[in-house]
Every structure is written in C-alpha cells, then in structure tokens.
Structure 1
C-alpha cells in the first residue's frame, strides 16, 4: 500500500493536488486509513490511466468520468464472461455442445435480423 506521497514519487506525471482532486472526484478510490488514503496496485494503474487520458490524450475533465465508467463496465463484462465460460466448461460435453449450438443459432438469427433492418439480405 502506498501513501499519496509514494504515488506522486512513483508516478512523476501526477502532482499531489491533482491526485487529491481525482480522489475527490471519485476517479480513484483508495482505501481510507487513519493516516489518510492508501493506494494499491489497481489504484496506481488507474492513476496512470487518468494521466494518459488527461495529459497524453488531452481528454476534457467532463469526459473523464464517462470514459472511466465505460472502461469499468467493460472490465465488469469481461469478468462476467470469464465466469460464464468457466461455468460452461464445468458442464458435460453434451451440455457444452448444446450451449455452443444455441449460441451459434442465436448469433445467426441476430445477424439476419440486423441485415433485414438495414435493408440488405
């Protein structure tokens, strides 16, 4: 666990006032202790991401929470998909094959519906 000053020393692109602002905005959510906030490896990765968004990509301040929210949703969906794949893998070969077949049929139906909606067949 790192203190604010440890983070600023480790990530030279962020200043202490910026880090505190990002915590207040909720862009980074460190654990709170009696001595103040402490940051783990995930917090440090997120701080680096915010640095990239703000400083390298010049993303406007009001767009940062939108991008962070979308990335959080994406990571959540990836985690859910990984868990679902694990649950499918735990099934018998017959059940796994039925799931694959149902998925492929559903995907084909979706593609056909999309083509009909766009006027192409």
Structure 2
C-alpha cells in the first residue's frame, strides 16, 4: 500500500496544487490519514484526488457535484462488497439452495413474467 505526503501527490498528479488539495480536503472529498509522521494519503486517496481533478477540469463540476459523485462512488463500492460477500456465501450453499435462490431472483427481477434483459 503506497503512502503519499501532500508533496508526493502534487508531484505525481498533473494540475494538482497545494491549494487545490487543501480545498478537496476541506470539502471532505478526500480524507487523509493523520499519523505521527503527519498527513498521509493512501493509494485510494491518490486515485480519488486524480478523479476529482479530472471531474473539475473536464466537466466543470462544482463542489456540491463533486461531493455527490464521490458519495455515490463510495456507496457503489460498499454495495459491491456486499454483493461479493453474498455471492461467496451463496457459493457455499448446496446446489438445490443455489437453484432455488437463483429462481427467486429471476422472479423478483421480472415480476410480470417478461424476459429478463440483464
């Protein structure tokens, strides 16, 4: 796991300045770790800051829109973990249980009997 200082991030991300990074932290779009060595950023923080710069520069998103996008991404990431855990739990069930659950999922997704398009 990479560990970055603010200076490291500014060096590796085009168009990132100290003021811009401070702004992203202030609007809580990125939350660095505070350690005995000072403020540190993880690899995921580097990716978030890079995305924030791109969304700001390429799409002109304001602070509210940036916060919304990052919140939705965080929520999607959490849901992805939940689905992975569910799939792992389901894989441990007997074949008959997996078939029953798969049938129930199809029923729920297509309650009117129409073909599932997904």
CA distance in 2 between counterparts of 1:58 and 1:41 reads 24
What TM-score do the two structures reach when normalised by structure 1? Answer: 0.85
**How many residues matched?**
111
Which is greater in Rg?
1
Residue matched to 2:116: none
How far the C-alpha of 1:35 sits from its partner, in A, is 3.8
Q: Residue 23 of structure 2 corresponds to which residue in structure 1?
A: 21
RMSD between superposed Cα atoms in Å: 1.4
Residue pair 2:27, 2:63 contacting (<8 A) in 1 also = no
Structure with the bigger percentage of helix = 1
Q: Map of 1:102-121 to 2, 5 A cutoff?
A: 102-109=104-111, 112=112
Unaligned runs of 5+ in 1: 114-121
Structure 2 unaligned runs (5+)? 114-118
- Structure 1 position 65, deviation (Å): 0.6
